[in-house]
Amino acid sequence: MGRSPRLPAAAGAQILAAACLLPNGNFKDGPAKSQLNGTVVMGRHSIPNWEISGFVEYIQSGHQQGGMVVAVPEGASAVRLGNDASIRQNIRVTRRAYYSITFSAARTCAQAEKLNVSVAADSGVLPVQTVYSSGGWDSYSWAFRAKHSAVWLAIHNPGAEEDPACGPVIDAIAIKTLQPPTKSKGNMLRNGDFEDGPYIFPDCPWGVLVPPMDEDSCSPLPGWMIMSSTKVVKYVDAPRYRVPHGARAVELVAGREAALVQEVATVAGRSYRLQFYVGDAANGCKESMVVEAYVAAASLKVQYQSQGTGGYRRAMLDFVAVGNLTRVVFQSLHYHMKVDGTLCGPVVDDISLVSVRKRAARRLLM
């Protein structure tokens, strides 16, 4: 994986750039040998820039467990969080600003592993049991709004398994400042083109997963919520994927189990027009795809025959609002899989919503 901008270590909270790897966020600087018992880290402050709690292992590339090589996302070093173990770092932020956290994780055992990411009282539980990349690890995102100028960022494994070493491997932790979710000119939706979102590591070939979240939670994809119990959507960028518009898009990789959602203020009885792109990310996902859009009492199924080489089509749905708050929802109707067995799906992008004069519902594919 390509390196991100990184600042030198300093005492206390670290002052960070707008988008960067946390100090020692890739765990390149490890504990002294005297602070290791095999792979187990013995001291609370043994890993530079980090504070640990519980059963934490320092894993380097090539480490084996049960005859199998443990995946290290960045290829050099990482930490594994055992039962009820955590790592945390004190970072300096701008009060009331929005931030997203991106990190890579790989599960090492068969159970349904989860990670709890938190800043002060804000926290989110991220499911990591489903693998979406062929390498055995994925990049995940989470977001928060800073209530103070210095905060503790913590990643915790809440698991309680028989084998204390049976926990996820964590690597490459980065932070990015997000723009407040505001409407753009000519579009009632916020961040309808997905240009603002979580940090994507340079040369990262697998995108960033955006997990399910509560309706009141801060989203790493500003303006949008992911509604699901355990599944995600994937945030992809133009350098590595084909996107219909701009530099970013969302790939629906979990079928009906995850929905991309935004609520917008409307006027009951007024007519509106929803437009969006559906396509494929040129990642070898060769299947017949269907994206369904729901809004007010109307819906539209958009069929797209993917050759896996990139392409898109524009769709339009006219509808009449039935209330003062309208939920816009996008789902992939089917699961899709590439030849290597990894999950994939249709891409949605450049979603716009505008008020129109006419009152008749209309569906149109372009």
DSSP three-state, residue 120: coil
Residue 290 has pLDDT above 60, yes or no: yes
Amino acid type, 210? V
Q: Which residue has the higher pLDDT, 312 or 15?
A: 312
Write down the mean pLDDT value for the chain.
Answer: 89
In this prediction, residues 134-146 reach a mean pLDDT of 91
pLDDT in tens, 218-261: 999 999 999 998 899 999 999 889 999 999 999 999 999 999 99
pLDDT in tens, 268-286: 999 999 999 999 999 999 9
Q: How do the residues of the chain divide into helix, strand and coil, expressed in percent and rounded to 5?
A: 0, 45, 55
In this prediction, residues 137-147 reach a mean pLDDT of 94
Domain ranges of the chain: 14-178, 225-365
Using the CB atoms, write b or e for 313-349: b if 16+ within 10 Å.
ebbbbbbbbeeeebbbbbbbbeebeeeeebbbbbbbb
317 has which bridge partners?
Answer: 274, 363
16-20, 301-305, 357-361 — which one is most confidently predicted on average?
Answer: 301-305
Do the domains spanning 14-178 and 225-365 agree at the CATH topology level?
A: yes
Tokens of 23: 């100090």
Residue among 8, 39, 37 nearest 21 (CA)? 8
- CATH architecture of structural domain 14-178: Sandwich (2.60)
β-strands 150-156, 169-178 pairing: unpaired
Long-range CB contacts (within 8 A, 24+) of 209-212? 209/132, 209/138, 209/139, 209/140, 209/141, 209/233, 209/234, 209/235, 210/141, 210/234, 210/235, 210/250, 211/124, 211/126, 211/127, 211/140, 211/141, 211/142, 212/127, 212/258
The CATH superfamily holding the domain 225-365 is: Galactose-binding domain-like (2.60.120.260)
pLDDT at 9: 38
- pTM summary value: 0.90
